[in-house]
Amino acid sequence: MKKLFVSGHRGMVGAAVVRAAEAQGGYTLLLRSRQELDLQDAAAVNALFATEQPDAVIHCAARVGGIIANRTFPADFMSENISVSFNVIDAARRYRTPRLLYLGSSCIYPRHAPQPIPETALLGSPLETTNEAYAIAKIASLKYCQYIRQQEKLVYHSAMPTNLYGPKDHYHPTYSHVIPGLLRKFHHALVTHADTVTVWGTGNVRREFLHVDDLARALLVLLEAENPPDIANIGTGTDVTIRELAELIAEVVGFKGNLCFDTSMPDGTPRKCLDISRIASLGWKPATDLATGLRETYREAASTGLLD
């Protein structure tokens, strides 16, 4: 049994990795909540690695948020993400943990990256300004993994997931990502019998969405690959406009009123869809279609009071 440290296991991605690793078997999981171990505390992180000597790490802990959160708190996004990731990667390196998989993100590719985005587009042109601080922190960590692998032959590498949704997502009215934000808005409109829902932005930008359980299976494929790529995109390879997404969510929730678009709110990158040929060549493909995934996510969020 391999001892696998999953950082951020109470978050959306970390919890999905725990579910996938338990379902698959072969791992002893090493888990610490923020209350047990603050990953911004370098000494405490080093002590964990010295004592537990994990065989592998999937580093899911981060400060994560939607477009408004990123735009409002850039200094926090940069400092927390740099410190948490540096502490974990550096402790793994110091204690010679053989494998580490870092969670990048499709939103750290340049604003005008070619579509679908190949991994080689990283750092090819200027970043999207709304999440620049988060992107720079993530790129520094991803590069640190790449340099460690190059210099010391420890297999540290990164996954670049597209926009995710699923269990344990965050439903904050202002700071959430697009799917939880829209599920919340449409649910409220339904229960308050409102006749219109306002969606942020023009509705014309295109986005790709992946169920987090599909991501977790892909992360285990990458972790178990003998010679994984330094960077591997994880997505569905298909995208929808925000208008199409909003219409699908209205249908899932059962909202029959009107949609309008608030064009004073930022759109972000015009299109974001990943080239997933690298991860596909390792035998992975997504299993959950968007309509089914949204129906399950809505049922779970509504029944656990997350949308109230």
Ligand X SMILES: NC(=O)c1ccc[n+]([C@@H]2O[C@H](COP(=O)([O-])OP(=O)(O)OC[C@H]3O[C@@H](n4cnc5c(N)ncnc54)[C@H](OP(=O)(O)O)[C@@H]3O)[C@@H](O)[C@H]2O)c1
Does 236 help bind ligand X (rule: CB under 6 A)? Answer: no
- Type of residue at 145: C
Q: Which of 4, 30, 56, 60 binds ligand X (CB under 6 A)?
A: 60
Compare residues 169 and 187 and give the one whose CB is closer to ligand X.
Answer: 169
3-state SS assignment for residue 259: strand
* Measured CA angle at 25 (ends 148, 64), to 5 deg: 50
Dist. CA 225–CA 99, nearest whole Å: 11
Q: In this chain, which stretch among 61-69, 113-121, 142-150, 291-299 interacts with ligand X, using CB under 6 A?
A: 61-69
Does 64 help bind ligand X (rule: CB under 6 A)? Answer: yes
Q: Which of 4, 6, 13, 121 binds ligand X (CB under 6 A)?
A: 13
9: tokens are 């296991």
Dist. CA 210–CA 256, nearest whole Å: 26
- The least CB distance from residue 161 to ligand X, in Å, is 4
Dist. CA 245–CA 117, nearest whole Å: 21
Binders of ligand X in range 135-194 (CB under 6 A): 161, 163-164, 177
Question: Does residue 107 contact residue 62 with C-beta atoms inside 8 Å?
Answer: no
Does 39 help bind ligand X (rule: CB under 6 A)? Answer: yes
Q: Using CB under 6 A as the criterion, what x/- string covers residues 115-134 for binding ligand X?
A: --------------------
Question: Does residue 164 contact residue 209 with C-beta atoms inside 8 Å?
Answer: yes
DSSP conformation class of 263: T
**Beta strand 240-241 with 206-207: parallel, antiparallel or unpaired?**
antiparallel
Burial (CB count within 10 angstroms: exposed 0-12, middle 13-18, buried 19+), residue 108: buried
Q: 């610490």: which residue's tokens? A: 32
- The least CB distance from residue 219 to ligand X, in Å, is 10
Binders of ligand X in range 14-33 (CB under 6 A): 14
Q: In this chain, which stretch among 3-11, 68-76, 90-98, 223-231 interacts with ligand X, using CB under 6 A?
A: 3-11
* Torsion from C-alpha of 64, 68, 69, 71, nearest 10 degrees: 100
Dist. CA 156–CA 146, nearest whole Å: 7
Whether 102 sits among the annotated catalytic residues: the reply is no
- The least CB distance from residue 109 to ligand X, in Å, is 11
Phi and psi at 104, nearest 5°, equal: -85, -150
Compare residues 66 and 201 and give the one whose CB is closer to ligand X.
Answer: 66
- The least CB distance from residue 11 to ligand X, in Å, is 2
Choosing from 27, 102, 134, 156, the catalytic residue is 134
Phi and psi at 66, nearest 5°, equal: -80, -170
Q: Using CB under 6 A as the criterion, what x/- string covers residues 83-112 for binding ligand X?
A: -x------------------x-x-------
Instruction: List 210's β-bridge partners, or say none.
Output: 164
Neighbouring residues of 177: CB distance < 8 A, sequence distance ≥ 6? 65, 66, 163, 164, 165, 169, 170
Residues near ligand X (CB under 6 A), total = 22
Compare residues 163 and 288 and give the one whose CB is closer to ligand X.
Answer: 163
Q: In this chain, which stretch among 36-44, 68-76, 121-129, 251-259 interacts with ligand X, using CB under 6 A?
A: 36-44
Compare residues 8 and 118 and give the one whose CB is closer to ligand X.
Answer: 8
Q: Which of 34, 96, 256, 299 binds ligand X (CB under 6 A)?
A: 34
Residue ranges binding ligand X (CB under 6 A): 8, 10-14, 34, 38-40, 60-64, 84, 103, 105, 161, 163-164, 177
The residues annotated as belonging to the active site are 134
